[in-house]
Structure 1
Amino acid sequence: MKKTMLKSLMLSALAAGTFCFGFSSLEAAVQVNPIPGLREDFIKGADVSMLPEMEALGAKFYDTDGTEMDELQIMKNHGVNWIRVRIWNDPKHGVLGGGGNTDEARAVALAKRAKAIGLKVLVDFHYSDGWADPLQQYTPYAWKKDNKDQLVKHVYEYTQKVVKNFQSQGATPDMIQIGNEINNGMMWPIGKLPGNDNGKAFAELMASGLKAVREIDPSIKLMIHLPDGADNNMYRKFFDRLVKDNGVNDFDVIGFSYYPFWHGSLTALQQNLDDMANRYGKEVVVAETAYGFTTDNYDMEKNHYGKAEERRSNFAATVQGQASGLRGVMNDLAKVPNGRGLGMFYWEPDWYAVPGAGWKAGAGNNWENLSMFDKNGKALESWNVYRDVSDNSLPTKPIKVSDVDYLDVEGSAGIPVSLPEQVLVTFSDDHMETLPIEWNEAKPVFAQDGDYTVKGRIPAIQQSVECDVEIKPKANLLKNGDFETMSLSGWTVEGDKWTVTPTSGKGDAKGEGSMHYWGGGAYHFTISQEVTGLTDGKYTVQVSSQGLEDGSKFKLFVIGDNGEKKTADIYNTGWNKWQTVKITDVEIKGGKAVVGLEMQGQPDKWGSADNFKFYRQD
C-alpha cells in the first residue's frame, strides 16, 4: 500500500482557555504546565537498573548543555528525587542472561550512589534469576527443586539478608516491592496464579516477603506491583483474592505498570488509580511508565516502540510529546482522592543504545527510543518535566490545535463512499486525540470517475475538515484496509482479541502500518468488516500476508448477501516473504458483504496482514 500523505493544517488559534493543560514558558524548547495540587513529597523517580552494566560497557552521559556528568546527578539536576533498582537472585542462571545483570551487589552499590546525592531508593525484588513479568516468573535456580514451605522460608531469609546488607552500607531502602508485575503469581509453578488453591500458596510467599521487611524496619514502605495499569478488572480480581480471600494486607502501596501504547488511555489509568486507592485504602504509584521521543532505531534490534505504538500512546514521538506524556501520568496521580497519588517512576530512561547492553545476552537494545537520552548519551529537554510540574511560578498557556491529519479515500461510481468516522488531531503540546467527524453528507454517491472533496466538521474543536475522494475503477471499498491509521479502525475483532494489534516497521508492513497477530498459547481470532451499499455485480477480495511457516489454519473469507461463505487458505513462508491471496467472482445482488480473516493459531506463532482490498471487478 502507499504511504498516506499527511497535510499539516496550521489552524487558527482557538479561544484562549478552551484547553487548560498547556505550556509553561514561551522560551523553553520543551514546555509543560505546572500541576496544581502536586504534593511536596511527590515521587519523581526513574528505574536505572541498566546503568551499572552500561557504565561497565563504556557509556557516557551528558547533560542538556553537553557537560559530561554522572547520570544520577543529571537526573537530580532536573528534578528526579527517587531511583528504582531491580534485584535478580543470581543472573548467571537467568534464562536469557543480559538485561543489566543486576544482582544484590550491583543494586546496593547503585543505591549507595543515589543516597550520597540525596535521592531516595525503591528496591524491586524479582525473586528470579532474570526478567520476571506476566509471561515469566521463574523460580530461582537455587530454589527450583524446593517445595512450598521451603520457598516461603527462602523468601523470608533472602529478603532479610538483602535488606540488612543495604542497611549495613548506609543505603536503607525507602520503599521495597515484593515481586515484579505479579498478576500471574511468582516463583512458578508453586506460586503461579490462579492455581487450584485460590492463591493460597502465592499469598504465603507474599506474606513472607512483607514480614521480612516489616521486622527489620517498619518505616520502609511496602509495595505490591502489577502490570497493565488501566485494567481495573484485573486489579480488583488480584487484590480481592490477596486481601479479602487470603488476608494479606500488610502493605502500603499498590504499584502500576503503565505503558500507554500497550495499556490504554490516561483516562482509564486515572479510573483505576482512583478505584484502587479508595477500595483498599492504599497509596498508589506508577512504578513503570515510558513515552517515545522518536520512532527511529539506533541499532539492529527491533524496538518495542514504533509508529503504531506512537498512535496508540496518544502522544507524538517527539521530545515534547515525551514530556507531555509524563506530565499526563503525573497529573493523573495528582488527582487521586485524599492525596493518595504518591508518584511515578520512568522505566530505564538511561537505556540508550550502547553496544553490548542488550535486553538479553547477545541481543541489542529494544528500548533506546523510549529513553530520555539521545543516541549519543545527551540528556533530552524532556527531563525538565520533572522540575517544571512543581514550579508554580511558571505561567499556564492554553493548548491549541496544531495539525489535523490529511484524509483521503477512494470509491467506485454509483456506490456510497464510506468516509472516515474519526480524524487524528495533534495539539501544540504534541498530545494527540482521535476525534469524531460530522460530514455534510454521510455516504456520498458519485456518478462518474474523478476527484471530489467532501466537507465536514470536528465538533469537539469546532473546526472544519475535508476529505479528498477519488472515484475510479476497482477502487478499494474497505475502510482502513491498508492499516495506515496505525489502528484497527473500521474492523471488528472477535475471539482472542488481544492477539491482534496494529504494527509498523519494515518487513512487518507493506507500507507504514499493518495488522499483526501473535499468541503465546493456542489462539483463535476473526477480524472482519461489513461493506454495504454495493451495486449488483462480481467482486474480488484480497489480502497480503507474511509470517512464520507453521501449522496454523489461516483463511481469507467473504460472505455474500446470500449467506454463502467463500474461503481461501493462506500459507505463510517466512518473515517479510509477502504473498497475496484472492477470492474472485463473488456475486453480490443484495447490496452487502462481509470480508475478513480467521485464524486458528499455533502457540507462539506470528505474522501480519496488509493491503486488504475489496473491489468491483467490472
Structure 2
Amino acid sequence: MARIRKQLLILAAAGLCAGLPAAVLAAADLHAPITVQPVSELRSDFMMGADISMLDEMERLGAKFYDAQGNEKDCFAILKESGVNWIRLRLWNNPVNAADVVEGGKTISRKGEPVGGGNNDLAATLRMAKRAKAAGFKLELDFHYSDFWVDPEKQHKPAAWAKLSGEELQNAVHQYTADVLKTMRAENVFPDMVQVGNELNGGMLWPDGKTWKSTPDEKIGGDDAFVALLTQGIKAVREADPERKTKVAVHLANGASNDLYRRVFDMLTKRGVDYDIIGLSFYPYWHGTLEDLQINLDDISSRYMKEVVVMETAYGYTNEDGDGFANLFNKDMAKGVGYQATVQGQASLIRDVINTVAQVPGQRGAGVFYWEPGWFPVKGAGWRTGEGNAWDNQAMFDFKGRALPSLEVFRRVREAGTAADVPHALPVEPLKLTAFVGEPFSPPDSVRVTYNDDAQRSAFVGWEEIPADKLAQPGTFKLQGELVNQPLKVQADVTVVQRRNRFEDPSFEGGKLDTWTITGTTGAISNERNPGNAHSGQQSLHYWAGEPFKVDVLRTFKGLTDGTYSFKGWVMGSGGEKGIELVARDCGDGKTYSAKVTNTGWQKWAQYTISGIKVGKGSCTVGLVIDGATGNWGNFDDVEFIRDGN
C-alpha cells in the first residue's frame, strides 16, 4: 500500500484525525439498488478477487458480517454469493514489534507486542486459507518478506534477517518460502498463485535488494541483488510445485505508469527471471486514469507476453468517517478521479476497472482484486496497534458490517443486465476554453461526461468549424459540438486573448513532452500522472533514474518579440542532486542565465525564477538541467516564460 503512512502523517498534522466517528448514513442511502453494466468478453476464469487479510483479527475483536438483506453470515459466504472467486492473503514473517515504537515524537513501549494491521503471521494465514478453500475459493498468497507493511516507499527486512546479507539473505528467502509452502501443502491449502514480494517498484529487502538511492552515499544492492533475492523466492515456489500449476506473480504499484513497468520488467526479462503474471496496484486517486491503465496493460501484456492482474484497487463509497481515524480517501480525491463517493460510484469504478482489464488483447487480462473490502470499523483492528482504520470508507460493507450493493459488482458484470444497467450521459456544462490571438486553435477531441451511474468518462466530440475572424482579435465566442455516437449537444465558451505565457501546456496536463528536447539520460524523464506529485492539476514532468544520470530538458521558442523575459518553474524532489538548475540560453546575447535549485523533500515545492533574460534575435531556449545521483527524483511543474511588461 504505497504512500499510506505518509498520507496519514500529513492528515494528522493537519488536524484531520480529531473528532468523533460520523453517524452511520441512513440505510436507504447506502442500500438502495444500483445499476451495473455487464462486461463483454470476460474470461470464464476471470479472477474476481478480494484481499481480506484483516478478517482473522477483526473477528477475534468481535466483528460480525451481514449480507445485503441484513442477515448475519460468514464473510466467505457473502463474498461467494457476490461473485468473488479468489481470496488474496498477505503474509508477514513475524508481526511483532522488534523495538519500541516512536509515535508523535514520543517513544512508546511496545517491544514484543503484535504490530496490528491484521497480524498476518502464518498461523492467521492458515486459519483464513482453510476457510477460503473450504468455501470453494482459489487462493493467492502475498509474501511481503517483512514483519509489517511493505510498499514502494519501504521494504524492511524481517527482524530475524536484519544481520543477513548476500547469499545468507538469499538462502533465508528460499528456505522461508519453501517452509511456508510445505506447511500449506500439509494443511491442504496450497495456494493457486504466489506473489513473490509486494509492490516491488524499488526492489525488496532493503538495503540489500534496493534498486535506488535515497542519498548519494547510500549503500544498496541494486538490480543484481534484487533479482538474486526475487529469484530465490520464485525458485522455492517452482520446487514446491514442479508441475507449475501455481502461478508466480511479480507485483508493482503505480499501475498506470508505463515507464515504471517497462524499466522493471525489461530488466527482469534481460536477466531471465521466471514468472507468469504481472501484478499491478491501481488506485485511481493516486495512479492516474483508466485510459492510462489500459495503455499500460495493453503494452506490457504484449511486450512480455504475460497475463496481467490488478492485484489491488479500491474506491470510496462515502466521505464519512466511521471511527474518528482520518480516512485516506477524501472528497478532493473523488473530484480528481471523476467517480462520486457513493455506493453507485464505487460500483461503477470497479466495474470499469474490470472492463479495462477484460479488454486487454489476447484475453491476457486475467483478473482484478479489491483490496480489503471487508475492513469496516472494528475497535482495535487498525493500521497498527493503537491506531484506527483509515480504510473504512473504501470497504464494501457499511460501518456496521452489512454488505453494500456495490459488492454485487463481481457477480453482476457477468449477468445479462437490463436496459436500466446501461449508463446514459447527462447534460454537459459549457466548457471554458482559451484561445490566443492569431494562433491556431483546436478544441479538445474529447470531454469528460457525467453519467447517471455516478461516473465521469471520456467521450469524443465533433465540433463545428471555427471562422478565422473569431481568432483575429481579443473577444469571446460560442462553439457548438455534439458527442460522437450520442445525441447530446456540447457548448464551449471560448475567450480569445493575447498570449502572455509562451508555454501552451505549462502544467503538463496534456500528457506529452513532444515540444521539449530531452538529451542525455533520456529515460530519466517522464510526464507523470500523479496528483500527489503535481504542483497543480494531475500531471508534472518527473525525473528519476536507478543510476547516476545527466539530462537536459529544454524548450526552444522562436518568433519571439525581442525584449526582456522571465522564466519561472516550480520544483520539488528528494534532494541530493549533484546539480540542478533552471537555465535560459541561446537568446541572442551570448549569455547563459541560470537559477540554482535546491530540493528539500516530497511536496516541498519552491518556485525558481530567472529574470532579465534579454531576447535579441527572436529565439530563446529555456528548461531544466539535472546532474543526478542514483535514485534522485523530483518533479517540475507550472512553468512560465513571459515577456516583461506585457
Q: TM-score, normalising length from structure 2?
A: 0.68
Determine which of 84, 87, 90 is the counterpart of 2:91: 87
Give per-residue Cα distances to partners, 1:17-47, cap 9 Å, x unaligned.
xxxxxxxxxx985433333454444331111
Q: 2:301 matched to which residue of 1?
A: 273
CA distance in structure 2 between the partners assigned to 1:147 and 1:477 by the alignment: 53
Q: 1:206 matched to which residue of 2?
A: 234
Determine which of 212, 226, 240 is the counterpart of 2:251: 226
CA distance in structure 1 between the partners assigned to 2:95 and 2:555 by the alignment: 48
Confirm or deny that 1:382 pairs with 2:400: no
CA distance in structure 2 between the partners assigned to 1:74 and 1:526 by the alignment: 55
Q: Secondary structure at the match of 2:449?
A: strand
Confirm or deny that 1:326 pairs with 2:350: yes
Q: TM-score, normalising length from structure 1?
A: 0.71
Determine which of 302, 312, 336 is the counterpart of 1:289: 312
Give per-residue Cα distances to partners, 1:339-360, cap 9 Å, x unaligned.
7655332223334577765656
Which residue type is aligned with residue 223 of structure 1?
A: V
Give per-residue Cα distances to partners, 1:326-370, cap 9 Å, x unaligned.
334444655678876553322233345777656567777665665
Contact in 1 for aligned 2:555/2:622 (Cα 8 Å): yes
Unaligned runs of 5+ in 1: 1-26
Determine which of 528, 535, 556 is the counterpart of 1:501: 528
Confirm or deny that 1:566 pairs with 2:590: no
Determine which of 476, 479, 482 is the counterpart of 2:504: 479
Confirm or deny that 1:256 pairs with 2:267: no
Alignment CA distance shift 1:288-1:454 (3 Å)? same
Determine which of 122, 125, 128 is the counterpart of 2:146: 128
Q: Secondary structure at the match of 2:140?
A: strand
Determine which of 413, 417, 424 is the counterpart of 2:447: 424
CA distance in structure 2 between the partners assigned to 1:454 and 1:195 by the alignment: 53
Matches within 5 A, 1:390-539: 390-392=414-416, 394=418, 400-402=424-426, 406-410=430-434, 414=437, 416=439, 421-426=444-449, 428=451, 430=455, 432-433=457-458, 440-441=465-466, 449-454=474-479, 465-471=490-496, 475-481=500-506, 492=516, 494=518, 495=522, 501-504=528-531, 515=540, 535=561, 537-539=563-565
How far apart are 1:85 and its partner, in Å? 0.3
Alignment CA distance shift 1:358-1:605 (3 Å)? farther
How far apart are 1:211 and its partner, in Å? 0.9
How far apart are 1:240 and its partner, in Å? 4.0
Determine which of 41, 49, 52 is the counterpart of 1:48: 52
Q: 1:12 matched to which residue of 2?
A: none
Confirm or deny that 1:34 pairs with 2:59: no
Matches within 5 A, 1:551-590: 555-558=581-584, 562=588, 565-570=592-597, 581-588=608-615
CA distance in structure 2 between the partners assigned to 1:598 and 1:467 by the alignment: 39
Alignment CA distance shift 1:549-1:260 (3 Å)? closer
How far apart are 1:387 and its partner, in Å? 0.6
Which residue type is aligned with residue 311 of structure 2?
A: E
Alignment CA distance shift 1:367-1:517 (3 Å)? farther
Contact in 2 for aligned 1:548/1:572 (Cα 8 Å): yes
Give per-residue Cα distances to partners, 1:384-443, cap 9 Å, x unaligned.
21011222365696655446575434567x553765555432363635237587673499
CA distance in structure 2 between the partners assigned to 1:511 and 1:542 by the alignment: 15
Contact in 1 for aligned 2:317/2:344 (Cα 8 Å): no
Which residue type is aligned with residue 259 of structure 1?
A: F
Which residue type is aligned with residue 227 of structure 1?
A: L
Which residue type is aligned with residue 158 of structure 2?
A: P
CA distance in structure 1 between the partners assigned to 2:238 and 2:599 by the alignment: 49
Q: Report which stretch shifted further, 185-194 or 170-179.
A: 185-194
Alignment CA distance shift 1:418-1:234 (3 Å)? same
Alignment CA distance shift 1:452-1:584 (3 Å)? farther
CA distance in structure 2 between the partners assigned to 1:318 and 1:592 by the alignment: 52
Q: RMSD in angstroms over aligned alpha carbons?
A: 5.2
Q: Secondary structure at the match of 1:391?
A: coil
CA distance in structure 2 between the partners assigned to 1:383 and 1:468 by the alignment: 41
Q: 1:343 matched to which residue of 2?
A: 367
CA distance in structure 2 between the partners assigned to 1:355 and 1:555 by the alignment: 50
CA distance in structure 2 between the partners assigned to 1:327 and 1:346 by the alignment: 11
Q: Secondary structure at the match of 2:146?
A: coil
CA distance in structure 2 between the partners assigned to 1:465 and 1:592 by the alignment: 39
Q: Secondary structure at the match of 2:96?
A: helix
Determine which of 126, 129, 137 is the counterpart of 1:119: 137
Which residue type is aligned with residue 568 of structure 1?
A: A
User: Equivalent pairs: percent with the same residue?
Assistant: 31
Aligned residues: 573
Contact in 2 for aligned 1:61/1:68 (Cα 8 Å): yes
How far apart are 1:226 and its partner, in Å? 3.0
Alignment CA distance shift 1:526-1:265 (3 Å)? farther
How far apart are 1:104 and its partner, in Å? 0.7
Q: Secondary structure at the match of 1:224?
A: strand
Q: Report which stretch shifted further, 432-441 or 263-272.
A: 432-441
Q: Report which stretch shifted further, 353-362 or 74-83.
A: 353-362
Contact in 1 for aligned 2:558/2:619 (Cα 8 Å): yes
Contact in 2 for aligned 1:159/1:212 (Cα 8 Å): no
Confirm or deny that 1:140 pairs with 2:158: yes
Q: Report which stretch shifted further, 117-126 or 94-103.
A: 94-103
Give per-residue Cα distances to partners, 1:468-493, cap 9 Å, x unaligned.
3445688545434467x596789758
Confirm or deny that 1:102 pairs with 2:127: no
Contact in 1 for aligned 2:48/2:84 (Cα 8 Å): yes
